[in-house]
Amino acid sequence: MECQKIINFGNQLLRRKNVDCAREDSRLSRCLNTFDLVALGVGSTLGAGVYVLAGAVARENAGPAIVISFLIASLASVLAGLCYGEFGARVPKTGSAYLYSYVTVGELWAFVTGWNLILSYVIGTSSVARAWSATFDEIIGQHIEEFCKRYMKMDAPGVLAKYPDIFAVVIITILTGLLIFGVKESALVNKVFTCINILVLGFVMVSGFVKGSIKNWQLTEQDIYNTSHGTYGDNQTQEEKLYGVGGFMPYGLKGVLSGAATCFYAFVGFDCIATTGEEVKNPQKAIPIGIVASLLICFVAYFGVSAALTLMMPYYQLDTNSPLPNAFKYVGWDGANYAVAVGSLCALSTSLLGSMFPMPRIIYAMAEDGLLFKFLAKVNEKRKTPIIATVTSGIIAAVMAFLFDLKDLVDLMSIGTLLAYSLVAACVLVLRYQPEQPNLAYQMARTTEETDNNESVSTSESQAGFLPEEEEKCSLKTILCPPNSDPSKFSGSVVSISTFIIGFLIVGSCILTALEPSVLIKAIWIIAAILVLVVSFVIWKQPESKTKLSFKVPLLPLLPVVSIFVNVYLMMQLDLGTWIRFAVWMLIGFIIYFTYGIWHSVEATYAASADAERNTDVGSES
């Protein structure tokens, strides 16, 4: 009896969401097109980091080879982007990684994902709002900071900020009002700011190629010594060694890879596109195209700006805080700094909107499913926006921006985002090899705008192959040479277990590396890599689902496995303090889930009604 209770409880934690996308019952407004999604993804991803990050990484990590660092980082990001793209085609509903986890690996994992995405977006919104305020204050001569420090100083170092940031609160309030007013209006404002940002970055790239010199990619150690010697005097022998050996890769391959790890975070943000599933006219095509196109545009921008910077002036003279103004001053174009200032404010504005836009939609999706308080799912009937969720998220972000210096919390954003990326990659791997789904959620989605019978996504072929199947016996031959060409319950279970094993091996190896990098760990890495390859081969041998989709991740199972590895490895590089804060946040989340969510889950209600019907049928038969 006790065992049965434990099994039932486990089933509750792992119950999966059934979504019927063929039904048009969305309470949100379908008004966004592909261009809106590309602008949203570019605006969210291509934030103020492009104006700062390139200088810091080029000077301290990669030199002119920063362009290769951005290339590697973009490829790693595209892996996650492709996984999001396939799920956008499969389940075009509001919820992003939260929903994708819910339909694949179960309720508890979905709650963990959604809860961490909320944290990521709250911290992202608050920190970008403070950065917007600081940038604007610097342009006007730091009058706001001086006034606040004089009259509103907060004396709580390590807990609160030096002064309350009223201007950041005003910015968040304005954007919250804009998001409540309507998604179409928000998308229009985002497009305007994103276009201005792209124009400014285009100007930076052209300026770099006009005023730059290829000699700055061909510097020698003697050039570095002469510049350092002339600037700092005879005591600079140790300092100049910090700048590498000159040439295109002054810090070697290790520096390029180190720079790529930092540059990876520059591509975080595209996932906000996946939260718009119920507000896009043709989500099956628009979401995958929007994700891939936005990542491509961002890569071109980062690549171009970093190339322009390192061509304009020697990499070791770049300013790590404001590289572009410093570079324009170096080439005698001081007036260009006004364009850079406008571009950076526009970039911060789109980045802020990109953080604020998905947050209420995640909250709305979780509240709609009963995992968060139901009143948060209220939608404004006139504007078709999740009004309570938007106001709540705006208030929380405004309070955090007002009181806290968020530098210590920014790394928490990375955990939430990387965890979501990892789960989505794992979900793609699992779902591609599963047998017939319980409803049309994974094969078909129609919109009010588009009900073309010739749509590339169809279910006729995928449904045709499903016949009652014989029970398959577990053997090495059955695992390596499945008798069926269509997925079965057994082959689906093999893939699920194999994915779990791969995840365990990757997480274990990354944890050991983070704790004790040594020769022994290298041997463990080799063993783990061989085992991952063997298990991946087992997955590859299983029959794939023949469901037609408008977009599919290529090269399964390789790309999702590599994506999981990259994301987990980056997570394990975060410090202990960040993981302690993460544990505290998760404790709060589990209290909410186990005291409210698990009992009010919509899926629990469906399960209870199904059990009641089954009992009624049994009673009537007897």
pLDDT at 24: 52
| CB 255 within 8 Å of CB 103 | no
- Residues 354/40, Cβ–Cβ less than 8 Å: yes
- Two tokens at 267? 């591509």
**What does the block give as tokens for 429?**
């791997």
What's the confidence (pLDDT) of residue 437?
55
CA angle, 169 then 174 then 178, to 5° = 145
| Cβ neighbour number for residue 608 with a 10 Å cutoff | 10
Q: Cα separation of 391 and 396, whole Å? A: 9
> How far, in whole angstroms, is CA 465 from its chain's centroid?
36
Which tops the pLDDT comparison, 286 or 521? Answer: 286
What mean pLDDT is reported for the chain? 82
Position with higher pLDDT, 512 vs 565: 565
User: Which neighbouring-strand residues pair with 280?
Assistant: 32
Alpha carbon distance, N-terminus to C-terminus of the chain? 24
- Residue 254, pLDDT above cutoff 60: yes
The two three-digit tokens of residue 252, written as one number = 């070697």
446-479 per-position pLDDT tens digit: 333 344 444 443 333 333 343 444 566 777 888 8
d(CA 196, CA 194) in angstroms, rounded, equals 5
For residue range 158-213, list pLDDT tens digits in order: 667 788 888 899 999 999 999 998 888 899 999 999 999 999 999 999 988 898 88
C-beta neighbour count of 449 within 10 angstroms: 11
434 with 545: CB under 8 angstroms?
yes
Burial of 611 (0-12, 13-18, 19+ CB in 10 A): exposed
Distance between CA 96 and CA 419 in Å, rounded? 13
Closest CA to 361 of 400, 389, 323: 389
At 1-46, the pLDDT tens digits run 677 777 777 777 778 887 765 555 667 778 889 999 999 999 998 8
pTM: 0.83
Q: Rounded to an integer, what distance in angstroms lies between the CA atom of residue 151 and that of residue 68?
A: 48
For tokens 């699992």, name the residue: 430
Instruction: Please give the average per-residue pLDDT across 324-350, as a whole number.
Output: 87
The secondary structure element, H or E, covering residue 223 is helix 221-232
Asked whether the beta carbons of 205 and 308 are under 8 A apart, the reply is: yes
What is the torsion angle, in degrees rounded to the nearest 10, for the CA atoms of residue 181, residue 34, residue 188 and residue 135? Answer: 100
- Which residues, listed in sequence order, are joined to residue 32 by a DSSP beta bridge? 280
Rounded to an integer, what is the distance from CA 573 to the centroid of its chain? 17
Highest mean pLDDT among 120-124, 154-158, 236-240, 519-523: 120-124
Angle at 363 between CA 358 and CA 367, to 5 degrees: 145
Q: At what angle do helices 49-57 and 252-264 cross, to 10 degrees?
A: 160
Tens digits of per-residue pLDDT, 391-408?
999 999 999 888 887 776
* The predicted structure's pLDDT at residue 21: 57
Averaged pLDDT, 524-552: 88
Lowest mean pLDDT among 316-330, 452-466, 565-579: 452-466
Residue 557: asked if its preceding bond is cis (omega within 30°), the reply is: yes
Is residue 86 within 8 A of residue 552, CB to CB? The reply is yes
Q: Is residue 120 over pLDDT 80?
A: yes
- 8 Å CB contact between 370 and 602: yes
State the Cα–Cα distance between residues 412 and 192, nearest whole angstrom.
Answer: 30
Give the list of residues 6+ apart from residue 30 with CB closer than 8 angstroms, or none. Answer: 278, 279, 280, 281, 447, 448, 449
pLDDT above 70 (res 438): no
